[in-house]
């Protein structure tokens, strides 16, 4: 091979190396955003039975549900749902709400406490907070209770929630009912 032929081979190899990133390269598939239906509906008489009887049929979001990185906003939403479902199970089991008529009041308090905690977590992060967290009191709760993905707390057919550790921090005030 001549010097000119060798230079051509070197240039072709160099060019293929520079441009070769697109030749035969395996490209990463774009990450699909995990589905975390949020926010949960406000407990009312019409959905209380479903809250109490179908808890194990509604999604939970263990850390393994999310990719190793990214989607921290969805992680916080999933954590809020997990917390709320844990607290709902307390209200429905009568461990906290001793009287049957207190179950609804307990569930409503759990909902507000879980979403308040969610907003505290949202405001502690240096990103744009969830829109409803920017409102105060009644406007905040109205915002959270609009555009609901599952207002009836319907279970997912065939789904069984994974066992999750109970969430601490819920305080039911029966005098507020």
pLDDT in tens, 40-68: 999 999 999 999 999 999 999 998 998 87
Closest CA to 56 of 130, 128, 163, 151: 163
Q: What is the pLDDT at residue 5?
A: 52
Q: What is the pLDDT at residue 31?
A: 61
Alpha carbons 82 and 98: distance in angstroms, whole number? 23
Q: Does residue 106 contact residue 97 with C-beta atoms inside 8 Å?
A: yes
What's the chain look like in SS3?
CCHHHHHHHHHHHHHHHHHHHHCCCCCCCCCCCCCCCCCCCCCCHHHHHHHHHCHHHCCCCCHHHCCCCCCHHHHHHHHHHHHHHHHHHHHHCCCCCCCCCHHHHHHHHHHHHHHHHHHHHHHCCCCCCCHHHHCCHHHHHHHHCCCCCCCCCCCCCCCCCCCCCCCCCCCCCHHHC
Q: What is the pLDDT at residue 46?
A: 96
Q: Delimit the domains of the chain by residue range.
A: 45-176
Q: Which residues of the chain register pLDDT less than 50?
A: 7, 9-27, 29
Q: What is the pLDDT at residue 174?
A: 92
Q: What is the pLDDT at residue 22?
A: 44
Alpha carbons 143 and 113: distance in angstroms, whole number? 15
**Rounded to two decimals, what is the model's pTM?**
0.79
Q: Does residue 151 contact residue 75 with C-beta atoms inside 8 Å?
A: no
Q: What is the pLDDT at residue 67?
A: 84
Backbone φ, ψ for residue 167 (5° rounding)? -90, 130
């Amino acid at each position: 091979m001549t010097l000119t032929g060798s230079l051509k081979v070197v240039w072709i190899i160099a060019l293929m190396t520079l441009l070769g990133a697109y030749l035969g390269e395996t490209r990463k598939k774009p990450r699909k955003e995990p589905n975390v239906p949020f926010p949960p509906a406000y407990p009312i008489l019409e959905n209380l039975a479903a809250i109490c009887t179908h808890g194990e049929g509604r999604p939970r979001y263990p850390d393994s549900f999310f990719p190793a990185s990214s989607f921290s906003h969805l992680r916080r939403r999933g954590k809020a749902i997990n917390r709320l479902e844990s607290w709902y199970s307390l209200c429905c089991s009568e461990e906290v709400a001793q009287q049957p008529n207190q179950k609804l009041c307990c569930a409503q308090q759990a909902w507000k406490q879980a979403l308040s905690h969610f907003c505290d977590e949202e405001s502690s992060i240096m990103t744009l907070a969830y829109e409803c967290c920017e409102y105060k009191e009644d406007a905040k709760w109205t915002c959270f209770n609009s555009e609901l993905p599952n207002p009836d707390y319907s279970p997912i057919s065939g789904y069984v929630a994974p066992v999750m550790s109970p969430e601490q921090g819920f305080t039911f005030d029966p005098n507020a009912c």
